[in-house]
Structures are given as C-alpha cells and as structure tokens.
Structure 1
Amino acid sequence: MSVPAPTRSLRDWLARLGQSGRLSVTRPGIGLRHEAAAVANRLDGRSATLFPRPDGQDGTIVSGLVSSRAWMAEALGTTEDRLVAHVQQACAAPLPWRERETGPAQSIVHRTDIDLLRMLPVPTLNEHDGGPYISAGLMISRDPETGAQNVAILRCQINGPDRIGVLVLPRHTDHFYRRAEAAGRGLEVALVVGVDPACLLASQAIVPLGQDELEIAGALTGVPLDVVKCLTNDVRVPAEAEIVIEGRILPELREPEGPFGEFPQYYGERAERHVMQVDAVTHRERPLFHMIVGGGLEHLLLGAIPREATILATLKRSFPGVEDVHLSLGGVGRYHLYVKLRKTQEGEAKNVLLGAFAAHYDIKHVVVVDMDVDIHDPKEVEWAVATRFQADRDLVVVAHSQGSKLDPSAREGVGAKMGLDATAPLDAPPMKFTRIRVPGQAELDLAAVVVPDADWRAVLGG
C-alpha cells in the first residue's frame, strides 16, 4: 500500500482533509464563546472543522486537524503502525532547520496599536475557562546564554490588548526564563499559531535541554524546516506559519491566569502566572487560527504519541523483550500505559512495571500483557486482566510517588502508582492460556458468502 507524501504546511494538510471528505465548514458567524468549541467537540475524531468569520469577526478558525492516529501518520508520510517508530527516529536524528530571509508568516506586520482580540478570533472554550485562550500556539523560546531554542504548547490567556497570561511549567521554557530573569531581562519568545502537523507533534517531544524541536519537525517530514527570524527578537519561527506573536515573558511579574479546561478533562486552577508582553504580530494573508479544545482528541493525541516514542525507547534499553507501548485515551493519553512484552522469565513483567513508572512521572497505572494481546484495543487489555491477573500475586503498588499535578485525585502531584502483571505464567500447561480461534475466520471474504438484501422468507420457501 502506497503512503501519501508528508504535508509541510497547515494549508496543505487542510486541502487534503477537504479533498477526502474529512473537513466540515460551518455557517459564518459561529460564536467565539463556547459555540465554536461545542461544534468542534461534536465533530471530534470524525471531521476537522473550519469556522469562517466567527462572531462576524474577520478571520477563520480551524480545529480537529489531527484528531486521530491515522490522520497524524498520514500527515507525516508514514503508517499508523509505524508512527511511534517514526517519531523515535526523528528524535534520534533531527534535521537542522534552514533559515530564509522572509516567508508567508511575515506577509503582514503589526508593530503598533496591537489589540489581540480585535486582530485574531480567539475563542473561549470550556464553561469555566478564565477567558479567551490561545490553546494551539507553539511557545518558542531562546536560551539567553546559548541561543538554543525550545518549543512547547503552553496555555495562553488573553489578559489585555497586548498582554498574555502564560502557564510556564518547571521544564525547559522555565529554565530559559530563569536565566533571563537572573540577568534582569525578559525571555525572548514567539507564540506561533497555525503550523503543520509535524511542528505540532514535534513540540511535544521529550528531548534533552537545548534540543530544538523544530529540527525534529524537519526530520518527521524528511526535509529541513524553513524558518525566519522574528522582527523584534532573535527567535526563529516556521516560515509557513499562519500567525506569529512576538514578545517577551517579563521578569519579576505575575498576574492571574485560569482556570482552563485541561487534558484530564478537569480545570487547571486560577493562579498567579507569568506574563508575556507582545511587541509585534505578523501573519499570512487571511490567516487561519488553530484552536485545540482542552480535553479533546487532538489535545490527548498530541501529548500521547511523542511520550509513547520516548517511553518505548527507554524501556527497550533495559528490557529488549518490550515490543510496544500505548497510552490509552481512557487514561487521558498520559496516565494509563499498556506494555506488550515478549516474556522470557518470571518476574520480568514486574521489573518492566517499575521501569515504566520511572520512564515518565505522569504514568499512574501500567498493565503488562503478552504478545497475543492488542494493546491498542482496551477490550483486549481488559480481557487479559480478567483472565491472567490475580491481585494477591500480580499487583504492584508504589505509594507516595511523584505524579501529575493536574491529576485531581493526587495531593499536589503526589499519589500512588499501580502496576498489573497480566501476563501468563511461562510454565502453564500448553492449553491453559491458549486463546480460542476459529480457523479461517480472519481470512474469510464475507462478500463472497453473504447475499446482500436477501429475503429470509424466500430462502425458506415461504
């Protein structure tokens, strides 16, 4: 089966979705407050959505661009079964980006009279969100000492005409910010809205400090990513982006941000957060504003797929028998991990469980299964637990360990982890754990044996 070529801009991907019947266009004027998000959620996983002139405002919103694994694989020019390996390879062999003098992202420039809510169709998403949010923007920051870049998706609330409240977690962006703040200046950043699927996915890669995720984006599509330098700072951004908001995260300043509907499908609390001062806005002609609804499939998958790639690589270094991993949607793409293991010794599955907990602090529950179980089918995993797991023998619990601070059942991010060894014993009698199977079932051509629209009464001669 031939695999389509990767797409290298949001518009190329949108065109492919439209040509294949996977893009819905709403009537003009859909409301920015909740209504656009409601429509996007109703179509989540079935169709991307384009919203012309929301609330009568100039501009266009798009949503649901990569709300299935198959779509993401297609956008990257690979297959769904090769997606995690494709991401692993890109992280291991990034392609340095290629700088251009200018690009479509800088077709129109605003340096004065900036009013973000007047210029851009920024929606309010979930019921109790603190206000309009840029939820699909890549926050690209630059280390003030080394010049290395970092790319992340951070939640960004519009708090004024040229002010944005930003949740900066204690990761790479925060590391750069602390260096800038120690020198008494703000951190140079660009908030980029409307990029191709490779840039979106690369932004979530778990890589060492100093590794520019834009280089991973290039590796995901097989060619270096074209970038341009911002007009007011030294940050490099994708040249084909729709919108670029240039600015600085200010030192020694915090302002209220939140609440916001997060990936666990609860709200992240309102608190004093970092503040971005906007210095300029550039964009394409008639730009597209990408919206990700908090807690939807696009949100979950963008977090899950890169984590799977990193976790699989981490586990395979210590446990060569680990064949595949999957972060389930029921576990919000973060908390529940299924591991497929080619077990060779008793006790091995429990070691794999402990290794999985160490692979990423977000992981809360792990199930290890045998090679005959499809870890991408939650019914299969549940079947393995039902028939191969005994709690007094196969359960591992680790109390008082670091987890996700967005897990409402944890206490300030500290909670318990649970592992289930749902593998069959190696010394079991041959037929005890042999799955039932009807020979020829998988290969059967139903069209050759089932008569369409047949009248059962006529068959009986009645």
Structure 2
Amino acid sequence: MKGYNDLREHISALEERGLLVRVRREINKDTEMHPLVRWQYRGGIPEEERKGFLFENVVDSKGKKYPGQSVAVGVHAASKYVYAVGMGCETEETYDKWERAMANPIKPVKVSKGPVHEEIRTIDEIRDEGRGLDMFPIPISTPGFDNAPYSTCSCWFTKDPDTGVQNVGNYRGQIKANNRVGVYLSGLGQDMLIHWEKCRERGIPLEAALVVGAPPVVAYGAVTKVPRGVDEVAVAGGLVGVPIRMVKCKTLDIQVPAEAEIVIEGLVNTDFVELEGPFGESHGHMNPRQLSPFLEVKAITFRKNPIWSSWISQATPSESSCIKREGYEVVFFNYLRYECRIGSLNKVVMHERLTNLRKVIVLQLKNPSPDDAWRALHASISRDPGVGKIVVAVDEDIDPYNWDAILWAMSYRMNPQNDVVIIGNRRVGHGPPFRQIPAPVGGDPTPFDSAMLINALLKEPFPPVSLPSKKYMERARDIWEELGLPKLKPEKPWFGYSLGQWTDENEEEADLALKGEHYKTGEKLAAERIKVDEKEQAE
C-alpha cells in the first residue's frame, strides 16, 4: 500500500462522495469542454455544489476521437470539498494539515518501476502522426482567444545543475508540435527559470519532465510557494504522512511520480526561445505573447488508457485559484506568524474572486500590540514581489471573508490620513498592464506599481454593535426554526457585543428595559433634566 491516492483512485473517491460528473456524451475538447465546466464558476453555482468532471467521449474540431482515453477537469479543486478529498481529510482540516506538512516534510522514496511506464514512445516514434503529443485529447482553455491547446495541470520537474536538487513547479505548456511544448516561466525567481539560466550559462540544455496527472497531493505541492530549498514532493509526502513513490525517467536523470498518468520527457533548449501565448490567465485577462523556452520531446511514457488532467484557470474563482488559495494562505500565515514573529496574527485571507489571491489580502489580528498591525502590513508585501497590492488589517470580530464587514471596519475604524500608507516602486507582478510586448523571458521586472496598506483596527473604545445580545438572537433562532422558516446561514456580526465604550449605567438601563421597568429610567432622566439657557436657545 502506497498510502495515498493516485489520480484514478482520487476520481473514484470523488464519485463515492457525489462530487464527480461523468460525461458520456460526445464533447468537443476544443470548443465545448472548458466552457461547460466554466458555467459552474460563472453561473451562480455556490462552491459547495461544484464538482469535478470526467469526459469519456472526447473529439476534436476535426472529428478525431480518442478511444480509451478520458479528460478530467476540475477534479483537483473544483471546490474546497473536492480539494479536501485530494488531501484525504475534511475541509476544516486542510489548514492544519498544510502547517504540519510544511513543518514535517517526508522525503520521497525511489522505486524501480511504476504504472507510468506501462506505455513508452521513443524519440523516433513520436514524430509519427498519432504517436506523439497529438495522441492525447488536450483541451483548449479559452476558446475564441487561446492560440493552441495548453497543458495546465502540468508539473514540470527539473534539477539544479549546481546542486543536483530537484524542483517541481506548475507552468502552462503550449502544444506547438507533435514533439515540442512551450513553457511559460512567469516572473523572476521561478526555480525552473533559475535552472534554465544556469544551464544557459554552461551552454547545455535543461533536462525537464512534464508530468500530467500526478497524484493530487503532488500537484497541490507544485503550485504552493514553499520556501526555496524545500522539496515540494517532500511536502506532498508530509501532507499524506508517507513518502511519495518516484521512478527514474527513461531518458533523463530525473525522478517523477511512479503513479502519474503521463510523463513527457525532453530537453529545454537554452540557445533559442520562441514566442508563447496569448493565453487566458488567472488575473482575468489574456496574457499576451512572451518570449519563452520550449521543450524538445525525447520520449513519452504513460499508463494504459491514460487520463489527461486539465485545470480550469482564467478569471477567478477557478480550479487553479482554489488550489493556490488553500496552500498560499498557510504559507503566508506561517511566514508572518513564525518568521516575522507576529504572534497576534489570527488568519490570512487572500481574496479570490476576480482579484486572483495575489492582489488583495486581509490580515485578521487578535489582541494586537500597538505596532503589530504595521509590522504585519509591511511584512505581508515583502515576501513575494508583486503580491499584496491592497492589504487590510482588521480585528478579530471582523469576518475576513466578508467584504461588507471589512468595508464596515474601513469606514469607521480607519482614518485615511493616519491609517493608510502607500508604498511605491513595486513590481506589477502577475497581471496587466503589459508595457513590453512581447515580454522577455521571465517577464518585465520594471517597477511601476504600488501597494496600499490599510490599518482598519480599532484605535480606541467604540460603542457596542447595534444588534440584539447573543442570548436573545439564539432564542429567536430556536423560534425561527420552530416556525419552519427558511434555513439560516448566520453572517458575522449576527449579535451585538461590547467594543469598550459601554458603562455600567448603560448596562443597568438596558436590563430595566428588558424587565419592563423602563419608566424608572425615564424618572431618572427627568430628575436630571437640564434647563436650556435662553441665550443658547436663541443662538
């Protein structure tokens, strides 16, 4: 027993939980597949109702069929519920599981063989029609705008030529020929880009293995921004509590997951680059062409009846943003709480819908010291370039997922003159505007953006929240349910509570009102009546 699910076992687990849609009717991978799944993100479907899709009867726009093959879309993270199945836990346990995995990674174990080598295509075979990349039903993600099918659930395994340490990252791949794939290395600092530049300096190509359909926990690790030098596959092992089984490629000195569906082995040219894109990206716009490296395929290995796994990305929310959200928030929390020692940090929330996690971040603090908010705000934009354009610090009583509550805090607890800081000369990061088209390899590092840090914490006592006290709301909820009224979904704040500006006298008067003795308060107020000065009245 390997102790973790491969993609096939994961799909079965989804089906057992009612989280999978099997589509047996014919579906065009180029024009129908991604738009169909897209509707569960743009059609008002709540997250708890989103599911993974398995397409079993796929054709392309030329009428080509792919017998024995299927395409999985949304099966990794159509929702946090689908994601939790991939993690092997309940939704409320994923955060803690990531924390434990980051603290206790488990090194992968090498094995001599695995299912991914059930079928092998050599360099001579893949030149033939139907024997190379064209044998797989690779979908078009943004029909009407993308210029080719792209691999999206694509784990690229490379090795640092100096240290020999492997890395895996998720980068899209443009299918350019039967034996050639572009690789989009966005942003400076990506490990694969660093490996490519080191090989270019040595005058050698970069060995790379493009893995499609890795075990879900490996795919989750590949997209999470773990600290440099930390092995993503070891973190994946930490997620499941056992080492991930790895097997050596047929033509490369690179280890890949033994239970992966497909491995595309090859060399990334370091003498030439090609234009790559445009492609619909997670910032909600088409990413224009960029000069990018490309992989020259040397071999393809795959399981019998392979499943091509495709992530739905583009405008968020999406599958890719759900995957990133679950891991990114833990990584940022650990960085701020433990590395920056901000002990009052209670939660990090990266806003997902349309803003794609990176740009808008909410920091919830509990009993902070006077300088904690500013320490947290400044530290939050220092970890990754281009991450954190609008960062808001709020108190524990503000729901960091509810923008009505956040704007409430900003409206009354924040004074723009004192509580907003603008930090200039920031990289724009992942997203428009695109000033240089085509951009060079790794993107355009020109600093022309800025960040806004907002301290929306309470600075002084406030009156209580103007809602009934908790015990009265709870009693009223019992009556509501007794009457058979629509199911309630409480939203914070759903009861009143003190924020410090509430006297014993205020409390006493409220108690008298509840006892029906409010006239006593009226008598007291009458006794304390103040005569209005005639002069003041005239004014």
Shared fold (TM-score, shorter chain, > 0.5) = yes
User: In structure 2, do the counterparts of structure 1 residues 413 and 399 end up closer, same or farther at CA, with 3 Å as the change threshold?
Assistant: closer
CA distance in 1, matches of 2:10, 2:412: 43
One of 12, 28, 35 as aligned partner of 2:9: 12
- The corresponding residue for 2:19 is 22
**Partner AA of 2:452 in structure 1:** M
User: In structure 2, do the counterparts of structure 1 residues 435 and 196 end up closer, same or farther at CA, with 3 Å as the change threshold?
Assistant: farther
Say whether 1:356 aligns with 2:380.
Answer: yes
Q: How does 1:312-327 map to 2 (within 5 A)?
A: 312-317=333-338, 318-327=341-350
- The corresponding residue for 1:376 is 401
CA distance in 2, matches of 1:139, 1:445: 54
User: In structure 2, do the counterparts of structure 1 residues 166 and 371 end up closer, same or farther at CA, with 3 Å as the change threshold?
Assistant: same
**Partner AA of 2:97 in structure 1:** H
**Partner AA of 2:17 in structure 1:** S
- The corresponding residue for 1:36 is 33
**Residues 158-191 of structure 1: per-residue CA shift (max 9 Å, x gap):** 1111001111243211111122222222111111
**Residues 94-130 of structure 1: per-residue CA shift (max 9 Å, x gap):** 1010111111111111113215442111111113112
The structural deviation recorded for 1:343 is 3.6
- The corresponding residue for 2:171 is 154
Structure 1 runs of 4+ off > 6 angstroms? none
The structural deviation recorded for 1:277 is 0.6
Say whether 1:306 aligns with 2:316.
Answer: no
CA distance in 2, matches of 1:17, 1:32: 22
- The corresponding residue for 1:139 is 156
The structural deviation recorded for 1:439 is 1.9
- The corresponding residue for 2:483 is 450
- The corresponding residue for 2:66 is 57
- The corresponding residue for 2:423 is 398
Mean Cα deviation higher: 285-294 or 432-441: 432-441
Q: How does 1:189-208 map to 2 (within 5 A)?
A: 189-208=208-227
The answer to whether the 8 Å contact 2:344/2:372 transfers is: no
- The corresponding residue for 1:90 is 101
One of 263, 267, 270 as aligned partner of 2:282: 263
**Partner AA of 1:354 in structure 2:** H
The answer to whether the 8 Å contact 2:389/2:451 transfers is: yes
User: In structure 2, do the counterparts of structure 1 residues 209 and 319 end up closer, same or farther at CA, with 3 Å as the change threshold?
Assistant: closer
Mean Cα deviation higher: 288-297 or 271-280: 288-297
Say whether 1:113 aligns with 2:125.
Answer: yes
Q: Alignment partner of 1:293: what SS?
A: coil
**Partner AA of 2:33 in structure 1:** A
- The corresponding residue for 2:251 is 232
The structural deviation recorded for 1:452 is 7.6
Q: How does 1:241-280 map to 2 (within 5 A)?
A: 241-280=260-299
CA distance in 2, matches of 1:366, 1:280: 46
User: In structure 2, do the counterparts of structure 1 residues 17 and 82 end up closer, same or farther at CA, with 3 Å as the change threshold?
Assistant: closer
Mean Cα deviation higher: 38-47 or 268-277: 38-47
Q: Alignment partner of 1:43: what SS?
A: helix
User: In structure 2, do the counterparts of structure 1 residues 196 and 433 end up closer, same or farther at CA, with 3 Å as the change threshold?
Assistant: same
CA distance in 1, matches of 2:38, 2:280: 13
- The corresponding residue for 1:457 is none
**Residues 60-84 of structure 1: per-residue CA shift (max 9 Å, x gap):** 1111121222332343233434423
Mean Cα deviation higher: 41-50 or 31-40: 41-50
- The corresponding residue for 1:334 is 358
User: In structure 2, do the counterparts of structure 1 residues 7 and 63 end up closer, same or farther at CA, with 3 Å as the change threshold?
Assistant: farther
Q: Alignment partner of 2:293: what SS?
A: strand
Say whether 1:185 aligns with 2:204.
Answer: yes
The structural deviation recorded for 1:287 is 0.8
**Partner AA of 1:367 in structure 2:** V
- The corresponding residue for 1:414 is 448
Q: Alignment partner of 2:96: what SS?
A: helix
Q: Alignment partner of 2:53: what SS?
A: strand
User: In structure 2, do the counterparts of structure 1 residues 292 and 449 end up closer, same or farther at CA, with 3 Å as the change threshold?
Assistant: same
Q: Alignment partner of 1:95: what SS?
A: coil
The structural deviation recorded for 1:347 is 4.2
**Partner AA of 2:105 in structure 1:** P
Q: Alignment partner of 2:471: what SS?
A: coil
User: In structure 2, do the counterparts of structure 1 residues 74 and 25 end up closer, same or farther at CA, with 3 Å as the change threshold?
Assistant: closer
**Residues 408-444 of structure 1: per-residue CA shift (max 9 Å, x gap):** 388956301012211112x315x35676544254584
Q: Alignment partner of 2:9: what SS?
A: helix
CA RMSD of aligned residues (A): 2.4
- The corresponding residue for 2:489 is none
One of 358, 367, 370 as aligned partner of 2:392: 367
The answer to whether the 8 Å contact 1:75/1:197 transfers is: yes
Mean Cα deviation higher: 437-446 or 369-378: 437-446
Gaps of 5+ in 1: 1-5, 454-462
CA distance in 1, matches of 2:429, 2:136: 32
CA distance in 1, matches of 2:454, 2:419: 6
- The corresponding residue for 2:141 is 125
CA distance in 2, matches of 1:185, 1:382: 54
CA distance in 2, matches of 1:166, 1:261: 15
User: In structure 2, do the counterparts of structure 1 residues 384 and 7 end up closer, same or farther at CA, with 3 Å as the change threshold?
Assistant: farther
CA distance in 2, matches of 1:248, 1:134: 17
Q: Alignment partner of 1:203: what SS?
A: helix
The structural deviation recorded for 1:329 is 0.9
The structural deviation recorded for 1:407 is 3.6
- The corresponding residue for 2:518 is none
The answer to whether the 8 Å contact 1:149/1:211 transfers is: no
- The corresponding residue for 1:458 is none
The answer to whether the 8 Å contact 2:19/2:82 transfers is: no
CA distance in 2, matches of 1:436, 1:259: 54
Mean Cα deviation higher: 202-211 or 89-98: 202-211
Mean Cα deviation higher: 373-382 or 183-192: 373-382
